[in-house]
Structure 1
Amino acid sequence: MPRTLRWPRLIIVTLIALVGIAGFGALGIWQVQRLHWKTALIERVESRIHAEPVPAPGPAEWSGLSAETAEYRRVTLRGHFLNADEVQIYTPTEWGPGYWVLTPLARDDGTVVMINRGLVPEDRKNPATRPAPEGAQTVTGLLRISEDKGWLFSRDNNPAARLWYRRDIGSITAALGLHDAAPYFVDQELTDPEGWPLGGKTVVAFRNAHLSYALTWFGLAAFVALAWGLVLRSELRR
């Protein structure tokens, strides 16, 4: 005697399968979108870091700056460093705990741009352990957008205690009392391989594994669909 379909079991299995297929499929689509974003980022960075330097944006251009339009643009600017206002931003390095050294550069037009002069290890954090640049300076480097937002587990800056964990330019310049300060900073290129801070440490190589992630999620969606089909076939044969 043929057995009847087990409808409650079929309904539950079908709901689970649909949730799995929709969830894994959505994750796959998201990774495809991330793939397009990362590919565009890599192409944009590669085209900019090897270009001839252009003058750093002035106040008239500040409001229109964004990661897409300006970040990693190679720029040049001239002025003198306000060494007394140097700040150090904590960051892990190949030597262990280290710091980005950011110093305001006062330009002839009265504006100020924060210059990331490079990395120093823990024992070079104190400015007294290294010479400060004096007089007129010409800086060439990569324009970077302010790091206003931290990562999920990143620590918050503490301007009152002069403790910094990300390069939030608005917060830094406000704490220093600087006016007419650019909303971006410039990663200075390497100028002295033997000196401190060590410039030219901008990360310009980005891992791009989004295609493999997308294939993994789509594969899982296909696996769930296949499993659901086998269960349905088994029930129909009853």
Structure 2
Amino acid sequence: LRTTAFPAILGRRLCCNHCIAAPTRRFGTEYNDDGEKRVGFKHFLLLICPLTAFSLGYWQIQRRRWKLALLEKVNNLLPSPPIPLPKDAKSSTDLLEFQPVTVEGRFDHSREVLIGPRSIITDEIPFGGYGSAWGSKPPPEGHKQSNLSNFGAPSSTGYFVVTPFELKDRPGTFILVNRGWIPTCNRDPFVRKTGQIEGFVKINGCIRYNEKVSLQPNVLQSLKICMLPLLCFHLLSGML
């Protein structure tokens, strides 16, 4: 006559005492010879989600701190009166980025370069200036002027126009001036003759240093369009 061992606990018939001592194993769980759970590769995969979330959160916090510090730096420097640009290159590179400066000279429009593609980042460029309004139709009365919604503006994507500027007190010495943003349809200088200023002029600006190197540099010599400022100036303008 067969008996049932611990029927109230196990709820099923057992063939021997060994079945009572054997640990309960879940489907898909790996155990070693001692009956302990084995840590497998899938357990490490479960750590990826919290670690990734923590890393992204930390990166966002650091990025926010960097942006706040940059905004504070810009707000402190831009209102200050412009200073004359130092005569030697070493002193110029020692200036803080966004330091206002003033220079006098003339543009060399024959060697201008377009840097892009770039998106417009302001809504305060007046009609007829270097912005999405450049070369577009006059807005109707009562229409709010905006780079992103300007009447006749085809797109918010375009290029920065960077033009060599020969200093008046140092003939043969050039600096690079970012003259502003233009839409893609106006990359031809012929359609923006108003911006081709001739003769000596005095301009105020701020010091800017080179952008980070792009992962996909693209230099189109036929259109004078590039993504890397220093690289394109070296290849197309022959200044560096």
Q: Distance in 2 between matches of 1:147 and 1:161?
A: 23
Task: Choose which of 72, 76, 82 in structure 2 pairs with 1:47.
Answer: 76
Give 5+ residue unaligned stretches, structure 2: 1-8, 11-21, 31-36, 121-147
Q: 1:174 to 1:10 in 2, by over 3 A?
A: same
Q: 1:23 to 1:139 in 2, by over 3 A?
A: same
Task: Choose which of 173, 179, 185 in structure 2 pairs with 1:117.
Answer: 179
Structure whose alpha-carbon radius of gyration is higher: 2
Q: Distance in 2 between matches of 1:176 and 1:121?
A: 22
Matched residue, 1:147: 211
Give 5+ residue unaligned stretches, structure 1: 180-238
Q: 1:26 to 1:102 in 2, by over 3 A?
A: closer
Q: How high is the TM-score relative to the length of structure 1? A: 0.58
Q: What displacement does 1:105 show?
A: 0.5
SS at the partner of 1:144? coil
Matches within 5 A, 1:1-238: 1=9, 4=23, 8=30, 11=39, 15-57=44-86, 58-62=88-92, 64=93, 70-91=96-117, 92-93=119-120, 94=148, 95=153, 96=155, 97-107=157-167, 108-109=169-170, 110-129=172-191, 130-131=193-194, 132-147=196-211, 149-150=213-214, 152=215, 156-158=218-220, 160-166=221-227, 168-178=229-239
Q: Distance in 1 between matches of 2:73 and 2:163?
A: 27
Q: Output the amino acid matched with 2:158.
A: G
Q: 1:165 to 1:142 in 2, by over 3 A?
A: same
Q: How high is the TM-score relative to the length of structure 2? A: 0.57
Q: What displacement does 1:135 show?
A: 1.8
Q: Output the amino acid matched with 2:105.
A: G
Q: 1:170 to 1:155 in 2, by over 3 A?
A: closer
- By percentage of residues, which structure has more helix? 1
Question: Which moved further from structure 2: 93-102 or 71-80?
Answer: 93-102
Matched residue, 1:226: none
Greater RCO (CA < 8 Å, at least 6 residues apart): 1
> What percentage of residue pairs aligned between the two structures are identical?
26
SS at the partner of 2:80? coil
The answer on whether the counterparts of 1:148 and 1:169 sit within 8 Å (CA) in structure 2 is no
CA displacement, residues 124-157 of structure 1 (integer Å, 9 cap, x when unaligned): 433233132122111112222223512x5x5612
Q: What displacement does 1:14 show?
A: 5.6
SS at the partner of 1:76? strand
Q: Distance in 2 between matches of 1:41 and 1:104?
A: 27
Q: Output the amino acid matched with 2:182.
A: V
Q: Output the amino acid matched with 1:37.
A: W
Q: 1:79 to 1:32 in 2, by over 3 A?
A: same
Q: Output the amino acid matched with 2:236.
A: A
C-alpha root-mean-square deviation of aligned residues, in Å?
3.2
Q: 1:118 to 1:29 in 2, by over 3 A?
A: closer
